[in-house]
Structure 1
């Protein structure tokens, strides 16, 4: 397995950061979750004057063998077609990244088809899709390790350009099935708690998906090591996302976590290296069944709840302005002392 050195956040500056936040011209806690966010970013960056530089979103794309079982409403070729849409600038993530001034990189982690005529695609193809995990592991452990290393390498390369905030998106028909089983195994929740409609399955299609995934879970029930579970159910885009998350945390970046699929990747990442969790900003709560339970498992408070269920990293781009606001108020908002404003003399209420 690739070697990662992810440091738990040094808490020495925590009190000074909180003192600076509390000294701004506002009642203590009045900016709510923005204060928590400002504190987290400052602690990740180990500074009282945080900065956000060259924000990026990485979109990893790959195909899934389990798609052959009819667990998605869309045919497998949509993965390839959507990558072309990303390249032409026509997807939602393109629109939102342009709006926020975020760089977007598209990664072929294992799409069925060639992009040799499209040099903008980052070629990290492990294979043309995974195997069908109803019958065998989606990938070998060696392929899983290769995908982890590829994702980590890319994150380190992006960090080397000066980027210090990185969002994660994905595209892959049937990847909600992969994420459902990863959630089931890494949280211990019953499969029924993890199962959702994905791209919009009706009741009959959802029942079929449940039957397939129940059988697949039983097929690989004996696997217990996190790397083996990830290899059994993960897609190449999910595993490369895991590697990128670990690589980014190792470099001290702020990680923007999108919806159901990205959070499933983070569950795997935390199973491998728990300290990665401290670097994560959870951008939104997805409409996809199970995501709220994932967030609860990770003790995560999402920034937005817009009933999104698109993926692509769209939640990262939509939440990014809140990071900008959090950093800006910490750096630019006057303190009571600098503004000559009297502070409240009332003691703060004591909570049990």
Structure 2
């Protein structure tokens, strides 16, 4: 059997995208069949639907494989499943033959709400998951550390089992509205140490911050979205949290006062806070600094200090040069070397 040729080869095959365009997917499968030793190098897989035509509008697609993904990649630790039908989730996560199947540590499953609803026994109609689909999936994820669920459904029956039947789960990431997120947190394992909450739209939070108080070992909270920051302030005044992350695609929709209250509550309790949402707090100072820098650079480049003095006054212009060009100011004053 061939052996890996280099560390570069190991790094190259450690993370794979399994699916996508048909031609690319077929080449990958052929390569793995020709070089089965490469399969053991794969640690991280993103599974996507296979598009049979380049101009496909979505109708001509199928999921990469109905065979067991864990049998293909015995060293797999991280798996992202994007858009599979619920009945295929069971097949993808089914245990391969043998006494020691790989123990997944991180799984992200992205389904639409309509696809998730097939796990609900109370759903009307004939298109519902059978008992095998509801029972087999959680059993295959006993070693899971991280679970990400997008487009949250109502947490009942099989869907709920993803959250409450995972004894090793420490990080749960939920992407959905306040009501569904709160209901999922109400059934999640109390062993969680890290929670990520994502919201696409602004919404008022009610029960959600109180649900966070259920988790005695929660140390890391990551908020992604524009929803009700002020409602988290009381929770941050507890002695649980140690790390808080605020991440937003834009800061223009954030209320400066709400962010400041959240930051003050976090810092007063010794919580380390990071994230791009903090940029809105110092935006005025950053704007003033950029404006001052422009006036100073213009004055030095043209040797004309009229506009700089008009903007800041004689003494203010000198101070502006000292702030923006400290080495030059020191040299001109005779303090530099």
Normalising by structure 1, we get a TM-score of: 0.27
Rg bigger for which structure? 2
Whichever structure has more helix as a proportion of its residues is 1
Question: Whose strand fraction is larger, Structure 1's or Structure 2's?
Answer: 2
TM-score, normalised to structure 2, is 0.28
